[in-house]
A = this chain, B = another copy of it.
Amino acid sequence: MGSSSAIGEFEQLVVLAVLQLGREAYGVAIRTVIEERTDRPVSRGAVYTTLDRLESKGLLSSSVSPTTSPGTGQARRYYQVEPEGIEALHEARAALRQMWTGLEPLLGEL
């Protein structure tokens, strides 16, 4: 899409959720965080599909949990944010920030 490593709207949310969760970042938890923080419904499929794409783009990496803690069903796949992921977030944010600059009087504080 963009020049280097572009990232979409929902993709950003997913990467941020992974950061928020630290070592507890797996599908279901990621979904929950996004739903709670953005207060909008997110389907399971949406999350997994996006995680897949982000991984194949190199923004995230994953590994299946070796441990099977009690109460946990199928083995979890944990995600981690790669440096490219961090960079993509910064780029997206910089672009938005630039575009917002000067509009505070019209739209409220940054």
Contact = CB atoms under 8 A, between A and B. Distances in A.
A interface, by DSSP: helix, strand, loop or mixed? helix
Among A20, A38, A103, chain B packs the most CB atoms within 10 A around the CB of A38
A37 B99 contact: yes
Contact of A19 (B38, B95, B106, B108): B106
20 contacts: A2-B40, A3-B41, A8-B9, A9-B9, A12-B96, A13-B95, A16-B96, A16-B100, A19-B103, A19-B106, A19-B107, A20-B102, A20-B103, A37-B95, A37-B98, A37-B101, A38-B94, A38-B98, A38-B99, A93-B96
Contacts of A7: 9
Interface of A: 2-3, 7-9, 12-13, 16-17, 19-20, 34, 37-38, 40-41, 86, 89-90, 92-96, 98-103, 106-108
A13 B2 CA distance: 13
